Amino acid sequence: MIIDDTPAQPRGEPLSRRDLKNLVRNLGAASRPSQRNSARATIKSLYIDAGTDSLASIAGVIPPLVQLLGSGSAAQVQADASALTKLAQNIDNQVVISAAGAIPRLVQLLNPVTPAEVRYHAAVVLSNLAVNADYQLAIATAGAIPPLVLLLSPSSHIDLQYNAVCALGSLAENSDNQVTIAADGAIPLLVQMLGPGPPDRAAKNVQIVQQHAACVLGCLALNADNQVTIAAAGAIPPLVLLLSPSSHIDLQCNAAGALANLAQNDDNQVIIAAAAGPIPLLVQLLGPDSLAVVQCNAAGALVNLAQNDDNQVTIAAAGAIPTLVRLLGPGSDTCASLNAARTLELLGQSSAEHRASIAAAGARCQR
């Protein structure tokens, strides 16, 4: 059967069921190259201005698009990957994309010989899919982690680094993937990404990469072996630097979260405290001007650091007790309040002087 070319749909007009059916057929293997190209143009005209919710209305094009991934000219491959990038912004479409078998094909597009623009789109789609816990292990099993780690290289374009680190951040929520990501050599590259970056890189772009690198390291640090590896790779000093008042709030939040997880390790408790002033910076982040999630992470870091006797003295000397007591009051975030209570408990158990300071600040503690 000869299928008529589908004209590009004017922007903003809904696609009828009949037009969608023709569009899907024109993307199929039986159609002519000119028909597929016309269908690609139609899809682009449909999604380019579409809102996230309306993208589900053209989900029918996803299976044939997935089948086209990796075939045709470089421009056609890029167009197909770009279309999936947009379509994957819709949660319902993510289910369709995965069910259509896109994950192995997307992983293949991460190959270093693939044009950078195509790898960019493949990493974006995988990053969107990896937000769903159901797909995290499937993406890793398909072999996505090694090529994503390669994209963290300093020689990669900032956009490739960003999408790779975003994808790895979601994948690292899975405990098995935490082991795989570390084994594939991601930790030294992530630590390097905590630094100032190349001199020609815009400060905003540096902050975005630092923010996500700290997030991935925080997830990886949920694994006890990774806690040792991350510290040995030199992550603690740059993470402490990111606690600075001059850092963006998201940087402070993720750095505090990473340090909180690293401080579950006894040796790391000593290393973190020995860095350039982390405890006063963490205490400062407990202040009323900080977001609840920042207070939670900062208090979480302090409660783990307070497992060390010497650190308890430093925490009290940094003026933490009144601030921690304030977090026990009404209106405080539950996470921050629980971490504050546990820190105060540890301080109170170790010293009569600390117990007196806690009582003077308006709280009671158990011996």
Tens-of-pLDDT digits for all 367 residues of the chain? 233 333 444 444 555 667 667 777 777 666 777 777 777 777 776 666 655 555 666 677 888 888 888 877 888 888 888 888 888 888 888 999 999 999 999 999 999 999 999 999 999 999 999 999 999 999 999 999 999 999 999 988 889 999 999 999 999 999 999 999 999 999 999 999 999 877 777 788 889 999 999 999 999 999 999 999 999 999 999 999 999 999 999 999 999 999 999 999 999 999 999 987 899 999 999 999 899 999 999 999 999 999 999 999 999 999 999 999 999 988 878 999 999 999 999 999 988 999 999 999 887 654 4
The span from the CA of 304 to the CA of 256, in Å, is 12
In 152-258 the beta strands, taken as DSSP E runs, fall at none
Amino acid at the residue 147: P
The span from the CA of 131 to the CA of 140, in Å, is 13
Helix (H, G, I), strand (E, B) or coil at 125: helix
The span from the CA of 141 to the CA of 177, in Å, is 9
The span from the CA of 324 to the CA of 114, in Å, is 52
Structure-block tokens of residue 222: 């949920």
With CA atoms as reference, report the closest residue to 23 among 1, 54, 46. Answer: 46
Whole-model pTM? 0.86
